[in-house]
Amino acid sequence: MSAKSCELRTVMVMNFSGQSHEVAISVRDLVVDYKQLRAVNKISFDVKQGQVTVVIGPNGAGKTSTMEVCSGVRTATSGKISVLGLDPQKDRSKLNSQIGVMLQDGGVYPSARVFEVAQHYCNLYGNRTTATELLDAVDLNRQRKTSWRRLSGGEKQRLSLALALAAKPRVAFLDEPTSGVDIFGRDLIRGIVRRLADDGCAVIMATHELDEAQRVADHVLMFQDGNLLANAPLAELRGSAGVNQTLEDIFRDLSNNSAVSKSRDTQ
Amino acid sequence: MKIFRSQLRQELTVMARNGEQLLLLVVIPIMLLIFFAQTDFLPTNSENKIDFLMPGILGLAVMSTAMVSLGIATGFERSYGVLKRLGTTPLGTRRLILAKVVAICVIEIAQLVLLIFVGQLLGWNPSRVNLAQVLVLLLIGTSCFAGIGLTLAGRLRAEINLAAQNGLYLVLLLLGGIFASNDELPKTLGDVAQVLPSSLLSSLLRNSFNNNELVITDAIALGGWALSACALAVISFKWSD
């Protein structure tokens, strides 16, 4: 185990130093408020092309709010956001043809059938790929005629991911792509995510499953209560924490530290 | 154009699969038409019964498609996150709305053809009809009811929206001067009914079919409803819950 993760680390470090990754998303001082509640509290980070950036943290930490602001679905309360050099609100029509978005809940009409939806999304992006190709990639070609309502949780997630791929995106926003997915589906999704990044796409993916994050991340954004606990390459995070430390251990440590410093502040 | 066509196809397929809508869109208007044409419940004299009924039923058909059917479908699309997700694609608001408008028109044409056919079987034969005027009125009526339906759909939770659309449909049907003139209602209720869009549309259509007349004030009032309902929908619509 430790030998393997050592090896993984070396590969990643080389990857970081060997290639220069352009910034695809730049976020500065982002604040998102819902009425009385502050969901995201003045955070800043970059997401780079050709990397998988994983957003982790417990429920309600601000992951989805941040992703939605970046993909243009939600308006920020304040802050400066740029995606591929564009403003996600003002330049939405320009940006939409270059990004693929997988929302937390599928966003497909229950009576719509698998092939039909895939075909529709291909059409929306000007047929950069075919529906058959998309469904092959997520192993859903046998369910072509099944309606969304009759798909299992894992199949829904796979179709939803496929729809985001129809864009042949330069930036992919994936909100919990593996939740409710079985072990084979996870492998498949992880493979797709890796390939996307290897092809130069900037992948930003939210999850609260830390094991998942650990397997696929190049870079980690750790959220808690709307703040960023960590913003670092996975290899660096794990390097500083010791080889045997899992992301879960690291998260607990950082979370405890922040709680301690917070209570010190208030005293 | 390809994007628009794809969205239109999607709209029509989804609507066609909602079998329960068929009841509202086709079965109810036809049943009402046959029932009241063949019985003597209506206070109008039997000679021009069908002439009185038919224009109102056509207005009712428009209301069921543009308001209830569109409103309910859009409400559910909003709650399922369909609109939110489409908002991240190159589709764009304008093409989405246009696809919905064209889809409603396609369904309305089918409804009207069917209803007119049944009407003819029941002996309907309007002699002094102004067809261009009828079409314009149907279009204004469509935008008015679509505006109302989308205003509700853009704010309410899907299930509440479903109930609200059906409830409003019933109110506008009963106070719509469709089966009897609003003069038959108690005075105050009649006065309120007079200015409701369903009443305005049915009486305007009746005049166009039977007398080749246009009551300008009513037409302006209906236009006013259409403008304000659409404006309200645009201002208040929320793309996701």
Residues B52-62 pLDDT 10s: 999 999 999 99
- Kindly provide the ipTM of the predicted complex, given to two decimals: 0.85
**Full residue range of the structural domain in which residue A239 is found:** 2-88+211-266
Cβ of A73 within 8 Å of Cβ of B13? The answer is no
Residue B83 tokens read as 């609109």
Q: How far is B143 from chain A (nearest CA, A)?
A: 25
What integer pLDDT is reported at residue B45 of this predicted model? 61
Inter-residue contact A86 to A94 (CB < 8 Å) = yes
Q: Are strands A171-175 and A202-207 parallel, antiparallel or unpaired?
A: parallel
Q: How far is A221 from chain B (nearest CA, A)?
A: 23
Q: Does B19 touch chain A (CB under 8 A)?
A: no
CB pairs under 8 A between A and B: 73
Taking residue A116's Cβ as centre, other Cβ atoms within 10 Å add up to 21
Q: What is the C-alpha radius of gyration for chain A, rounded to an integer number of angstroms? A: 19
What integer pLDDT is reported at residue B184 of this predicted model? 85
* Residue B41 pLDDT grade (very low, low, confident, very high; cuts 50, 70, 90): confident
Q: For B28-37, what is the mean pLDDT?
A: 92
Sheet holding A37-48, edge to edge: A37-48, A23-34, A78-83
B241 domain-assigned: no
What integer pLDDT is reported at residue B21 of this predicted model? 82
Cα gap A55→A204, rounded to integer Å: 7
Cβ of A109 within 8 Å of Cβ of B6? The answer is no
Inter-residue contact A158 to A182 (CB < 8 Å) = no
Cα gap A195→A137, rounded to integer Å: 11
User: Residue A124: its chain B contacts at CB < 8 A?
Assistant: 3, 6-7, 86, 89-91
Q: How far is A164 from chain B (nearest CA, A)?
A: 9
A167 domain-assigned: no
Q: How far is B128 from chain A (nearest CA, A)?
A: 45
Number of domains observed in the structure of chain A: 1
Encoded amino acid at A42, one letter: K
A206 domain-assigned: no
B208 domain-assigned: yes
**Full residue range of the structural domain in which residue B64 is found:** 2-236
Q: Does B10 touch chain A (CB under 8 A)?
A: yes
User: Residue A125: its chain B contacts at CB < 8 A?
Assistant: 89-90
Q: For B123-148, what is the mean pLDDT?
A: 93
A71 domain-assigned: yes
Backbone angles phi, psi at B239, to 5 degrees: -75, -25
Cβ of B85 within 8 Å of Cβ of A111? The answer is no
Q: Which of A108, A74, A109, A102 is nearest to A88 (CA)?
A: A74
A68 domain-assigned: yes
Residue A15 tokens read as 């990857």
Number of domains observed in the structure of chain B: 1
Share of chain B above pLDDT 90, in %: 73
Q: Which residue has the higher pLDDT, A80 or B42?
A: A80
A217 domain-assigned: yes
Q: Could you tell me the pTM of the whole model? A: 0.86
B212 domain-assigned: yes
Write the DSSP assignment of A136-187 as a string of letters: HHTT-GGGTT-BGGGS-HHHHHHHHHHHHHTT--SEEEEESTTTT--HHHHH
Q: Which residue has the higher pLDDT, B5 or A267?
A: B5
Q: Does B228 touch chain A (CB under 8 A)?
A: no
Burial of A254 per CB tally in 10 Å (0-12, 13-18, 19+): middle
What integer pLDDT is reported at residue A253 of this predicted model? 82
B203 domain-assigned: yes
CATH value at residue A13: 3.40.50.300
Q: What is the mean pLDDT of each run of 10 residues along chain A (267 residues)?
A: 43 45 94 93 96 93 95 95 96 95 92 96 96 97 96 96 97 94 93 96 92 91 94 87 75 79 59
Write the DSSP assignment of chain A as a string of letters: -HHHHHHHHHHHHHHHHHS---EEEEEEEEEEEETTEEEEEEEEEEEETT-EEEEE-STTSSHHHHHHHHTTSS--SEEEEEETTB-TTTTHHHHHTTEEEE-SS----TT-BHHHHHHHHHHHTTSSS-HHHHHHHTT-GGGTT-BGGGS-HHHHHHHHHHHHHTT--SEEEEESTTTT--HHHHHHHHHHHHHHHHTT-EEEEEES-HHHHHHH-SEEEEEETTEEEEEEEHHHHHHHH-TT--HHHHHHHHHHHHHHHHHHHH-
Cβ of A110 within 8 Å of Cβ of B80? The answer is yes
Tell whether the torsion through CA atoms of B65, B67, B69 and B70 is positive or negative: positive
Burial of B4 per CB tally in 10 Å (0-12, 13-18, 19+): middle
Q: Does A121 touch chain B (CB under 8 A)?
A: yes
The residues pairing with A54 across neighbouring beta strands, listed in sequence order, are A205, A220
Encoded amino acid at B160, one letter: I
Q: Does A59 touch chain B (CB under 8 A)?
A: no
| Interface with B, mutate which of A65, A108, A124, A147 (most B CBs under 10 A) | A124
Q: Does A96 touch chain B (CB under 8 A)?
A: yes
A243 domain-assigned: yes
User: Alpha helices, DSSP H only, in chain B?
Assistant: 2-17, 19-22, 28-38, 49-63, 70-79, 82-86, 93-121, 131-153, 158-174, 187-194, 197-210, 216-236
Cβ of A124 within 8 Å of Cβ of B3? The answer is yes
Residues B138-195 pLDDT 10s: 999 999 999 999 999 999 999 999 999 999 999 999 999 998 888 888 999 999 999 9
Alpha carbon separation from A192 to A139, A158, A258 (Å, rounded): 11, 10, 35
Three-state DSSP state, B68: helix
Q: Does A101 touch chain B (CB under 8 A)?
A: yes
B207 domain-assigned: yes
Cβ of A111 within 8 Å of Cβ of B3? The answer is no
User: Residue B2: its chain A contacts at CB < 8 A?
Assistant: 123, 126
